[in-house]
Amino acid sequence: MGEKKIYRRFDWTSEKEIRLAELFHQMLPPSKIAEELGVTAASVDSRVRKLGLTRPKKHPAYIVPDDFEERAKTMNITQLARYYERGRDTIAKWFKITNIECDENLAKRGKAIPKSFEKIATSLTRSDLAKFYNSDLRTIRGWLEETGITPLTPEEKRMREPVTAKDILDPTPQEPRREFKSKDKLIAADAAQYLRRIHANIHRADIQMFENSSQTWGDVNQIRHRGINQYYVSGKGVMWLDDLIAYAESKGYKQKELI
């Protein structure tokens, strides 16, 4: 028999409550949330009630994201499940609902080709591309063969001015990154959950694209500041946290005393 886990009294800080809200809105059951946070399921239920967190009545398995058809062209079921943070059964159900055929050839691909790849691949070497996309050279070679792109050679790189992927993707000066307090982040997470009643797809713009990868959704979609402190809302685009909260309030959302 395995060792019985012992849970000590948990200090619910604002950061941990934000993480709880994120996991809750990902539709994870209390047992899974408790396992990640190192608490009991009863403690999770108690804190969820205290924060007033709610989930949409309509099961997310039947709400197909607006960008699903586009993602299904380049990702296999496993990658789609990670991207949307849903189970493989849910992804299979989305294929059935949309009548989209799952390309069996995609199952052989280790990672989907990022949107930004074709834009920057001709201006960087294979090694630079591997570092930027946190991938091995074999994956980069596969992407290059599939797209028919010839990357920069080391010799050509030495003859040019130093350039990075960030210079290519965003050559214009960036607006300052907005910073927010922990309470604002928690309110934004609650506002995003409220907006899921009218928008099929809402998620943080800085979520990781793949497990154990430093690349965010914002990196792949060329969002400034890597998507940090921003949300993607289908039909509206990318919003800063305060803009998201204001938009939710225009739709009837009322802030709660969360902390």
pLDDT digits (tens, 9 = 90+) for 210-238: 666 677 888 777 788 888 999 999 888 89
Tens digit of pLDDT for each residue in 248-258? Answer: 999 999 887 65
178: CB partners within 8 A, 6+ apart: 229, 240, 241, 242
**What is the residue extent of each domain of the chain?**
14-51, 60-108, 117-169, 182-250
The pLDDT value given to residue 229? 93
Under-50 pLDDT residues of the chain:
1, 7, 107-108, 259
The pLDDT value given to residue 1? 47
The pLDDT value given to residue 85? 75
The pLDDT value given to residue 8? 52
The pLDDT value given to residue 259? 47
**3-state secondary structure string, the chain?**
CCCCCCCCCCCCCHHHHHHHHHHHHCCCCHHHHHHHHCCCHHHHHHHHHHHCCCCCCCCHHHCCCCCHHHHHCCCCHHHHHHHHCCCHHHHHHHHHHHCCCCCHHHHHCCCCCCCCHHHHHHHCCHHHHHHHCCCCHHHHHHHHHHHCCCCCCHHHHHHCCCCCHHHHHCCCCCCCCCCCCHHHHHHHHHHHHHHCCCCCCEEECCCECCCCCCCEHHHHCCCHHHHCCEEEECCCEEEEHHHHHHHHHHCCCCCCCCC
